């Protein structure tokens, strides 16, 4: 659709004349936005640009949206408290340096709460996420084709172009995600060998983690932080004891390093298949009050009982401003309404 026509239609459908009736007819929710990396040209990081983030926050302020913290949102729906109309929530996953040094100051500038979920092993400088290591290997290999055996299946990949590398990366990541992850280190060693590329022992500039001193500094300024596992492995692909350790140890590290970590967990990758009742039980047993997924939907406005607080959906913040406006409105609520099975889990 032509960009101008799309904007015109969106203006009409989200206007003050249409929105109240649409909200009454179709319902409305709370958009919770998920972000990852932020553009940092000095370190060759590609992601959400600071200019785009500021434009989104400016739009929200101008249109009188209510900035709400994730912690307050979950406590409100659990306790049956009335949420402000036009509430919106922001979250960031992982704990990279750009998220702290570039994004956090912008949220403070706009007096907008944000919750940053930390992979504790990353901030402890013990590891960098396995999926980023695969990106590094494919970015730095000199090979133009790859022949590999993953989980008893033989695959051939072309790496002749950026698009071919992107396709190979997506396939390899998804294949690993769909299989047991207890021996992920061996898989990474194998990928390093067949790409003829060594995984650096120190963090490349593109993958620099935040450090605890800066995390504490921003916590004192009002930024909130929550647990996101120790290693960023997919929980449903781990043995129960390992899943327990990933959840409990990541929460313990935040409690050791911070004054008031947020008792809300973030599931790695966060798809329907990446976690389930076992993980919810562990999170509850750990003393946490909720969990966030990456299921693209607006969260519910009213009181929710049962497991809903452990299945909070989130939208990825689109780089397309009109798509952002769409996800923000009642259109986002009806288009991405969670599947009933998701609400019953």
Condensed to tens digits (0 to 9), the pLDDT of residues 98-109 reads 999 999 999 999
Express each pLDDT in 305-340 by its tens digit: 789 999 999 999 999 999 999 899 877 787 656 544
Express each pLDDT in 106-131 by its tens digit: 999 999 999 999 999 999 999 999 99
Neighbours of 29 (CB within 10 A): 22
Cα distance from N-terminal residue to C-terminal residue, the chain: 37
The CA distance from 79 to 75, in Å, is 6
Express each pLDDT in 4-42 by its tens digit: 666 676 667 666 656 666 566 565 789 999 999 999 999
Q: What is the pLDDT of residue 85?
A: 84
Q: Which H, E and C letters describe 236-254, residue by residue?
A: HHCCHHHHHHHHHHHHHHH
State whether the Cα torsion 8-13-16-18 is positive or negative.
positive
Q: Report the interhelical angle of 162-177 vs 130-140 (nearest 10°).
A: 150
Q: How far is CA 292 from CA 16, 123, 185, 280, in A?
A: 31, 20, 27, 11
pTM of the model: 0.92
The CA distance from 37 to 34, in Å, is 10
Extended strands (E) in the chain: 32-35, 66-67, 87-94, 115-118, 145-150, 153-158, 224-227, 264-266, 290-292, 315-316
Q: Report the interhelical angle of 321-328 vs 3-13 (nearest 10°).
A: 20
């Amino acid at each position: 659709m032509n960009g101008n026509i799309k904007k015109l239609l969106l203006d009409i459908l989200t206007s003050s004349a249409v929105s109240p009736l649409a909200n009454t007819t179709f319902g409305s929710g709370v958009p919770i936005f998920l972000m990852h990396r932020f553009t940092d040209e000095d370190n060759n990081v590609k992601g959400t640009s600071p200019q785009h983030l500021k434009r989104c926050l400016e739009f929200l302020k101008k249109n009188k949206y209510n900035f709400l913290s994730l912690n307050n949102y979950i406590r409100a729906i659990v306790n049956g408290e009335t949420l402000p109309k036009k509430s919106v929530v922001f979250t960031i996953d992982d704990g990279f340096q750009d998220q702290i040094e570039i994004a956090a100051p912008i949220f403070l500038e706009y007096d907008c709460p944000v919750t940053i979920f930390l992979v504790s092993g990353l901030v402890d400088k013990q590891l960098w996420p396995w999926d980023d290591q695969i990106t590094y290997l494919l970015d730095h290999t000199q090979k133009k084709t790859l022949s590999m055996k993953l989980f008893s299946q033989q695959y051939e990949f072309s790496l002749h172009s950026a698009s071919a590398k992107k396709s190979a990366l997506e396939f390899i990541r998804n294949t690993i995600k769909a299989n047991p992850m207890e021996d992920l280190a061996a898989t990474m060693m194998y990928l390093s060998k067949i790409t003829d590329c060594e995984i650096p022992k120190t963090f490349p500039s593109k993958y620099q983690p935040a450090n605890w001193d800066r995390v504490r500094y921003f916590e004192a300024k009002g930024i909130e932080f929550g647990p996101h596992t120790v290693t960023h492995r997919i929980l449903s692909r781990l043995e129960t004891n390992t899943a327990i350790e990933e959840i409990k140890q990541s929460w313990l590290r935040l409690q050791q390093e911070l004054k008031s970590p947020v008792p809300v967990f973030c599931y790695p990758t966060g798809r329907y298949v990446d976690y389930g009742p076992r993980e919810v039980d562990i999170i509850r047993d750990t003393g946490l009050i909720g969990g966030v997924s990456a299921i693209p939907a607006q969260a519910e406005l009213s009181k929710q009982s049962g497991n809903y607080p452990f299945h909070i959906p989130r939208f990825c913040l689109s780089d397309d401003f009109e798509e952002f406006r769409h996800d923000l409105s009642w259109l986002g609520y009806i288009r991405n309404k969670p599947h009933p099975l998701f609400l019953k889990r």
